[in-house]
Structure 1
Amino acid sequence: MSDIKKTGRRRFILGAAGAAGALLVGWGIMPPRQRLNAAHSLPVVNDEVALNGWIKIAKDGSVTVAMHRSEMGQGIHTALQMLVAEELDVAMAQVKTMPAPIDKIYGNLSMLADGLPFHPDDQGVIKQFAQWMTLKTARELGLQVTGGSSSVKDAWLPMREAGAAARAMLIAAAAKEWNVPADQCTTANGMVKHASGKQKSYGELAASAAETKPAQIRLKAPAEFKLIGHPEPRTDAKAKVDGSAQFGIDAHPAGMLFAALKLSPVIGGKIKRVDQAPVLAMPGVTHVVDFSAAVGEAGVAGVAVVAKNYWTAKTALAALPVEWDAGAHAQLSTESVFKELAEKLDSESGFTYYKQGDAAAILADSKEVAVAGTSVAKTIKAEYRAPFLAHATMEPMNCTAQLKDGKLDLWVSTQVPSIAVAVAAKAAGIGAEQVQLHMCFLGGGFGRRLEVDMVAQAVAIAKQTQGLPVKLIWSREEDMAHDMYRPAALARFAAALDDKGKVLAYDNKSASGSIMHQVLKRTFGLPGAGPDKTTAEGEFDMPYQIAHQKIAHVIVPTPVPVGFWRSVGHSHNAFFKESFIDELAHAAGADPVDFRRGLLANRKRHLTVLDAAMNKAGKPAEGRAHGVALHQSFGSVVAEVAEVSVQNGQIRVHRVVCAVDCGIAVNPNIITQQMESAVIFGLSAALYGEVTIKDGKVVQSNFHDYPVLRINEAPQIEVVIIPSAEPPEGIGEPGVPPIAPAVANAVFKLTGQRLRSLPLKLA
């Protein structure tokens, strides 16, 4: 199929989807679903009063905010508290949090809208209509998801509106009581005040405020902000330091049993036979549960041993005789995966995500084709590859479940509470309203806890424990060997330069498995089809201005389970793209930074970020080199400069300067922490991260063969935040993609070796 036909097909699919939605009588013309009041009021205790679906106020003036996003170390609870506190005019010390109930007002709209495969420069009607339809659909679905660096971006309006609405209600209540115009009242530090000297606390006004309907709700202008834009301490820090923070693995309801599991060692394998008798005879062991059927076709076959303590369960599990059916993938290997990717790149054109001009014609005959009076002087080609990667969260997968009297209690660290509840209800055979979710802190997420496999497993086990709660804990080895991995990927580039070093044509085609195709099947039982933005993000939407370019991707279905990994497709596509741009700079005889500046002539935002990073970096120390990379992801632009040396054949990163434009910096402290975290996370992957497969099995099992950066290897990290008045964009992931290419580009300066494969290893 030609590229033109493929592009037309995409437009037809998107257009048809929109048209089908509009045909739903009444739905297409309905106003957007409101995000202020939930279907049911927030639960209150004692003297609390709920003012909307986000905020309740107690008589002592304390404010409780419904927290609809998961705290997994990224500081999101603090940032979201700030949004409410700013508009409500209360001090952060007055604000507490509670887990948000399952309701559509807490759904994540931004993450779904950002998943559409349109180029950032595309402002056409098809894109606008697709975005509108996606946002409407997202409102109706109401999926509570923490991911895609979207939490602050998505909450920016609804949580501020909730704070502003509550503030207006409190003012209206005071104005009515004092018989004065509302516009004569002001607020500060949880008090409503009048020029006459009258004042009342929010706690005193809350009950009457709940009965008011203010005529006008006004959001503050940025110039009025007192909290937003200023560094605030993390509200979760104390609990995490003193040990009182409750993670999923800390759950301990009365009478709890423990479960350890063993999953098929071969990808796609099944259980042939389990000999339960020897293990059931062991002291302390209560059950052996084959949960394979409960998790369905998209799950992994496995068996659990339940005991009165975890050590007994784990010891008994090791002694459990299990006979496995290896299935169809017993010969799968890393080599066969990349062989297939290469073959598909050779034989298939893939889906064209972006095309401008005619790069193919220029590259086809580089010595004769003239472009704007300039002939091609040089053609550069390169192939890059990236491996499967595990998430390796510090808290391994776990879930605690209790099914008793037709009701299910669930304690779990999850990024998808609404999906976890739905999956748990289905596994238990009860309605979702009978599930009580106890949200916990997450000991790392990185996308792994977007999956709910551990939930289905725990509930299946709890169905056999006669009403007793059971805590399922994965071992580190099972966690490493049964992840939903970052896909392996292969990318090919070709570019043409004129005799002055100008890029005339740019072609990029890559291949990998599809995350979205697998997630749709695993989570929702839906078939995966069509393009998947995550496969080509960071390639087709690059900011570099090249007149003739084409970016395509070939989806190659894989039996290896793949999933969202921090920064998703950007994590490897930035390495591919930014390394190749450096190759072009070298071929053009240009400084890599100046070369990038030339491709960003009309991209003021990107130039500002690049220049800020370079100015802060200064000159490298003797014996070291600077490598640079610039990348935009999740709405934010990040430039990183890595100061690198090569010592005894080993790559050492001494210093990283990271400049970021993420729109309004809600809390500069958290932004700095997230950039530092992203650099360390990305460096671990760049220098060490690699999951390999042999005989259908994942080879790596723990941190001894899947190492992460140690503290003595961590570089000095300096973060520059670009001032902005634009709405906030993503921050949890954008710091990851640039670090690998920045390091690789520095290594090239030092050694002349162009490292085109991750992890980075010198020859």
Structure 2
Amino acid sequence: MNAPVDPKGLKAIQPSRRDVVVASTMVGGALLVGCSPADLMSAGSKVEVGAFGPFIKIAPDGVVTVISKHIEFGQGNHAGLAAIVAEELDADWSKVKVEQAPANAKLYANGNMGAQLTGGSSAISNSWDQLRKAGAGARAMFVQAAANRWNVPVGEITVKDSVLAHTSGKTAIFGELLSDAAKVNPPTDPKLKDPKAFTLIGSDRVRRKDSQAKSDGTALYTQDVRLPDMLTAMVAHPPRFGGKVKSFDATEAKKVAGVVEVFEIPTGIAVVAQNTYAARMGREALKVEWDEEKAEKRGSPAIIQGYRDVLSGKDASVKWEPFDQRGDAAALETAKGADVVELNYEFPYLAHATMEPMNCVAAVDGNKVKLTFGSQGQTLDQLNVAKVVGCLPGSVEIETLFAGGSFGRRATFQSDYAVECVHIAKKVGKGRPVKLVWTREDDMRSGYFRPIVLHALKVKLDKDGLPAAWRHRIVTQSIMKGAPMPMGKGPDSSAFEGINDSPYLKATPVVDAQVAFPDIGVPVLWWRSVGATHTAFVMEHTIDQLAAKAGKDPVAYRRAIYTKAGAERHLAVLNLALEKAGPKATAGWTRGVAVHESFGSVVAQIAEVKLENGAPRVGRVVTAIDCGVAISPDQIAAQMEGGTCYGLSAALFGEVTLTDGQVDQTNFDGYRVLRINEAPSVETHIVPSGNPPSGVGEPGTPVIAPAVANALFALNKAATSRLPFVRSEA
């Protein structure tokens, strides 16, 4: 989520001052008074809205098409979004399909972010009320049309599976009333169903609508796009971050059959060819001299040592920023004794490692732009591309396709690879489409990473063994630095989310929690579950160690703290997971437990672990989640399974390292991922809830690592202070 993480900070996404100036200049040099950010960012768009609003189209044959403002890149949100509409519309689920929305922030903005953007596990939650009203409004229009035609009260008409019926026996399907319904004024505040009356939401009937296409190969991804006269491009990027082109010789590259053009763009040297093979061979034949005067040349050990210097106070140049402080924190500075616990944790850079590397198709003809690709942040892409081409943001047409994963990588503030493609297409010109292809090696070495993070904790226990004072320090890069939207007050919360709102800190009288953000030349980005990727581990593994120090059972210890903090949802998921796991672990396995809240959902996991050849092997994982209304239980289970495996993969093997500023890993031979035979059995149990839906795509990822660490701690009393569990042999 893989994306912006703090809905409060993102709620009013705003273009920067420069963006406002650029966009206003594009519309004739006059600042448009009264325009909202969405108006500004959609300026130039020509999206047409039908009779039933921007989210619903109904065909004469009765097929209902739900327009999804959110990209589908594996998380399965299209089914849930469609089910919300279908439930309130009372549509025949078998005749409901999903279509991707065009790029238009005014119509399709994420309600939590103010821009058309998929991220933060918010696709369902931000659409819940919006799509319920859309479906209910369309239903009311059909009911009114039927009442007018039959001359009966609207209260005597029922709707089920796209069929309207009256007590007199009269019936009509949507298609038969379509023209009449389209003439009815839509209600401004349609009546919504009582959730007790739901027949589709929460049922096993809500299954993915894209499974067939993705199984038979008809689903269209960017790499599948074939357009008339299309060229393919690859870019030679600097080997070190921050490097630039000093000079290049394209003589040999131009000799490669199929190479059309070679030229410099802001990010490197573009090789444009008739096909992918020619582009790659042309790039390999290039001779480039790089200017690395301002490049990042440090390796991972040097960066980590720099972080340690900040923690120790040896490097006082980096400012500490408090994010949670109360009580007499100064007394903890010099505290010592048997009731004081000091812990340190280190987390490495992580790659997103999506199955489909970055790619984009662009066509530029003057100030007319068409992008065809898996756009995760359409508004950001429109704004960034408009600045390159010099057009209105809304005039950048985007056809959003399926994408083979993202985990946050496809939503950058700079729209890096999309802008790179547009620079190339602009140079080619005349509206000729260009497909930019990044190889796996490009993705691993030239992309963005989950940042290195160091934590240092000092906790003093009270007479009952519970935390009485908690000192917490975090050193990492700021993901939100340079964001085009306001971050709100205080430091970048993506670094400490999951700590500042933790029940463990809420139950602790004295807290001194601060964060420091050194400037490092390595590009970083949110990675599935963002701050929770490390904060969940730190908090949950710390709690097990504190429980051991206090001589308490870790489950009983958690229950005591949750009760003290009033964390009822944490208690509920913990109790459900324990109930479903049963009283004993499988023979030969050891259990570990972890509970964490992220993206509005609370997840508890019990992992059964054993050591094989000195490495952890995870067998059974019992998961309980409180995510509000469960629209699609089957998809929630799938997300828990996928998120668990993704998190376990990173915890066991994930590590990106740098040597002299260059990324060491180039593919999956060096960046090890979880294999099918290593995947655990994941059982998912959902806490019944009447609350609005909350996140599902990311909350399952951060909990597995601490659950495994806690199982190992129970097994051999050895704590884990650094991930991954299995270190690379490189």
- TM-score (normalised: structure 1): 0.85
Number of matched residues?
683
Q: State yes or no: 1:590 paired with 2:527.
A: no
Q: 1:251 aligns with which of 221, 225, 249?
A: 225
Q: State yes or no: 1:418 paired with 2:379.
A: yes
1:360–1:507 CA contact under 8 A, matched in 2? no
Q: State yes or no: 1:268 paired with 2:238.
A: no
Alignment correspondent of 2:274: 308
Alignment correspondent of 1:183: 155
Q: 2:671 aligns with which of 706, 711, 717?
A: 706
Matches of 1:319 and 1:566, distance apart in 2: 37
Alignment correspondent of 2:416: 453
Alignment correspondent of 2:25: none
CA spacing shift, 1:529–1:665, aligned 2, 3 Å = closer
Alignment correspondent of 1:513: 477
Counterpart residue type for residue 657 of structure 2: T
Matches of 2:70 and 2:328, distance apart in 1: 45
Alignment correspondent of 2:300: 334
Counterpart residue type for residue 439 of structure 2: S
Matches of 1:337 and 1:476, distance apart in 2: 25
Deviations 1:412-466 (A, max 9, x none): 1121112222222322233334432111001001000002211111111112324
**Taking every aligned residue pair, what percent have the same amino acid on both sides?**
42
CA spacing shift, 1:105–1:463, aligned 2, 3 Å = closer
Counterpart residue type for residue 273 of structure 2: A
Counterpart residue type for residue 628 of structure 1: V
Deviations 1:118-172 (A, max 9, x none): xxxxxxxxxxxxxxxxxxxx3xxxx111000001100000011000011111111
Matches of 1:697 and 1:269, distance apart in 2: 11
Matches of 1:462 and 1:32, distance apart in 2: 28
Q: 2:353 aligns with which of 375, 392, 414?
A: 392
Q: Residues 28-67 of structure 1: matches in 2 within 5 Å?
A: 43=48, 50-67=51-68
Q: Residues 224-623 of structure 1: matches in 2 within 5 Å?
A: 224-231=197-204, 232-292=206-266, 301-347=267-313, 350-362=320-332, 364-365=334-335, 378-404=339-365, 406-451=367-412, 452-467=415-430, 468-520=432-484, 530-544=490-504, 545-601=507-563, 602-618=566-582, 619-623=584-588
Matches of 1:469 and 1:331, distance apart in 2: 37
1:626–1:641 CA contact under 8 A, matched in 2? yes
Alignment correspondent of 1:20: none
Q: State yes or no: 1:168 paired with 2:168.
A: no
Which structure has more relative contact order (CA 8 Å, sep 6+)? It is 2
Q: Give the CA deviation at 1:32.
A: 13
Q: Larger deviation: 206-215 or 649-658? A: 206-215
Q: Larger deviation: 406-415 or 350-359? A: 350-359
1:363–1:495 CA contact under 8 A, matched in 2? no
CA spacing shift, 1:454–1:362, aligned 2, 3 Å = closer
Q: Larger deviation: 418-427 or 439-448? A: 418-427
Deviations 1:522-572 (A, max 9, x none): xx7x99995111011011111222222232211222211011110001111
Matches of 2:378 and 2:558, distance apart in 1: 42
1:59–1:203 CA contact under 8 A, matched in 2? yes
Q: Give the CA deviation at 1:365.
A: 4.1
Deviations 1:301-339 (A, max 9, x none): 311211111111101111111111122335311122112
SS in 2 for 1:493: strand
Alignment correspondent of 2:111: 109
Matches of 1:53 and 1:576, distance apart in 2: 44
2:249–2:287 CA contact under 8 A, matched in 1? yes
Alignment correspondent of 1:658: 623
SS in 1 for 2:427: coil
1:753–1:762 CA contact under 8 A, matched in 2? no
SS in 2 for 1:93: helix
SS in 1 for 2:541: helix
Alignment correspondent of 1:373: none
1:516–1:528 CA contact under 8 A, matched in 2? no
RMSD, matched Cα: 2.7
Matches of 2:279 and 2:193, distance apart in 1: 56
Q: Give the CA deviation at 1:289.
A: 2.4
Matches of 2:549 and 2:367, distance apart in 1: 69
- TM-score (normalised: structure 2): 0.89
CA spacing shift, 1:88–1:99, aligned 2, 3 Å = same
Where does structure 1 lack aligned partners over 5 or more consecutive residues?
1-10, 18-26, 113-137, 293-300, 368-376
Alignment correspondent of 1:687: 652
Where does structure 2 lack aligned partners over 5 or more consecutive residues?
1-7, 15-31
CA spacing shift, 1:31–1:584, aligned 2, 3 Å = same
SS in 2 for 1:552: strand
Counterpart residue type for residue 200 of structure 2: L
Q: Give the CA deviation at 1:98.
A: 2.1
Alignment correspondent of 2:29: none
Matches of 1:592 and 1:29, distance apart in 2: 56
Matches of 2:164 and 2:68, distance apart in 1: 25
2:158–2:165 CA contact under 8 A, matched in 1? yes
Matches of 2:475 and 2:332, distance apart in 1: 23
CA spacing shift, 1:228–1:730, aligned 2, 3 Å = same
2:44–2:394 CA contact under 8 A, matched in 1? no
